[in-house]
Amino acid sequence: KQEVTQIPAALSVPEGENLVLNCSFTDSAIYNLQWFRQDPGKGLTSLLLIQSSQREQTSGRLNASLDKSSGRSTLYIAASQPGDSATYLCAVLRGSARQLTFGSGTQLTVLP
């Protein structure tokens, strides 16, 4: 059974700081890994998708990496802004399954 863990559960940083969110998964046989953002009471917004054959993806100030062999992914946010405050979720799609398995998320607060 695939398990996804996100550390830390919560993070508070001053504006302008670069930060890293961590995601680990137990089964390395994955098709892809997706990072999402969720604002309070809202749905999920897809940020980045990394296919299993890729090692990283970039979008603006966001960079996500994937190391399948060690079962880890990181989301790097450069020059954080208060508008980045949200919960960040990672999810993996296993080769043998059709649905995403999610971590519990990291709640990020960027202080002005």
DSSP assignment of 4-39 equals EEEE-SEEEEETT--EEEEEEES---EEEEEEEEE-
Q: How far is the CB of 76 from other proteins (least distance, A)?
A: 20
The single-letter DSSP state of residue 55 is S
Beta carbon nearer to other proteins, 7 or 79: 7
Chain positions contacting other proteins, by CB under 8 A: 4, 31-32, 34, 36, 41-46, 49, 51, 89, 91, 93, 98-105
Distance between CA 84 and CA 106 in Å, rounded? 12
CB of 21 to other proteins, least distance (A): 14
CB nearer to other proteins: pick between 98 and 112: 98
User: Minimal distance in Å, beta carbon 20 to other proteins?
Assistant: 19
| CB-nearer residue toward other proteins: 18 or 58 | 58
Q: Which residue has the tokens 């960040």?
A: 88
The residue among 76 and 102 lying less far from other proteins, judged by its C-beta, is 102
In the complex, minimum distance from the CB of residue 97 to other proteins, in angstroms, rounded to a whole number: 8
